[in-house]
Structure formats: structure tokens, C-alpha cells
Amino acid sequence: MNGVRLLLLFYTLILTTNRSSVISPDGISVAVDVNNLMRDMNPCIPAGRRTLAEHTDSGDLTFRTKDGSVCQIGKDEIDLLSDVCTEQEKTVLRLPIFISTDVHADGGAWKVDGTVESEVVARILGRSKFRPDTVRLYNPDLGELRRLLPNATFIVFLP
């Protein structure tokens, strides 16, 4: 199934249950397991996330993904986050920071959920928070955040 068809099926399934029968773009009824679809769209999601304080205390700036890859967070990224965070936030902020699709935004957007995560990202970008625990990002914001924190942020696709 090509990428466009997979994306169309994904958006068709956003408001359905875990297992659903949908009509594919070429008119064929197919049964799709949403859990498998999400797993296939997020093959290298981090397996575990440590706090900023744990990364700095241990000196280990890596994290493992579910597919077994090891990713390195840059020292400059850790320094930027350390400068922006309070001491309390350093003990709560988990890395990498997840950026997810925001299906409720007009025109498509991204979001960072979590009280501390959204606060830190809002501070870095100079943006206000959308809700107390969410900051909404549009493409220019996403580009800037990924430029500043390329390895300390991770994009996940959620319904």
C-alpha cells in the first residue's frame, strides 16, 4: 500500500474503534487494525525516556528506540534545555520531548503535551500555551523547534 493510501486510511480510522472495516481509495473494503497501523507509523519510538536531570547526572546523552537503534542527544541541546528549565523542571522533563499530530487544529498542526514539556517548549519558542498542558505548533514553529532540538525532540503520529 503506497504512502498516500496509508495516510487516507489512517485519517479514515481516526474516529473509529481499534479494528474497523473501511473502504480503501480504490473501492475495496479492508479490515484495518489501528494498533498495527500506529505501530507501523512509529517504528522507532523511544523505548524509555529519562529526565533531563538523569541525562546530565549520568553523562549518558543517548536513548534507545523500540527497533533497537541508539540515538544521541547533542550536548548543545542538553545545555539549551538546562538553561531554560528550572531545577524542578529538570527532574520532571522527559527526553526526548514528543511532538504529535494535532488533529483538532484547523489546517493541520502539531502539539507538545505535558505540563512541563509544553512550558519548556513555549519558553524556547516564545509562544503562549494553547491549554495549561499543551502548546500548539504550526509548521514554522515545528521547524524552529527541530532546528534547535533535532535529537531531543521526537515526532510521533497519533490519532
- 58-111 per-position pLDDT tens digit: 999 999 988 888 999 999 999 999 999 999 999 999 999 999 988 888 777 999
Nearest C-alpha neighbor of 157 from the set 70, 99, 114: 99
> Is the CB of residue 53 less than 8 Å from the CB of residue 92?
no
Nearest C-alpha neighbor of 86 from the set 113, 123, 134, 127: 123
- Which residues are within 8 A (CB) of 90 and not within 5 positions of it... i.e. 6 or more apart? 51, 52, 53, 56, 82
Q: Is the dihedral of CA 74, 77, 82, 85 positive or negative?
A: negative
pLDDT (0 to 100) of residue 46 = 86
- pLDDT tens for 129-159 read 989 999 999 999 999 999 999 999 999 877 6
Q: Can you point out the beta strands (E) in the chain? A: 19-23, 29-33, 50-51, 62-64, 70-72, 94-95, 97-102, 109-113, 134-137, 153-156
pTM for the model: 0.74
Domain ranges of the chain: 3-41, 50-156
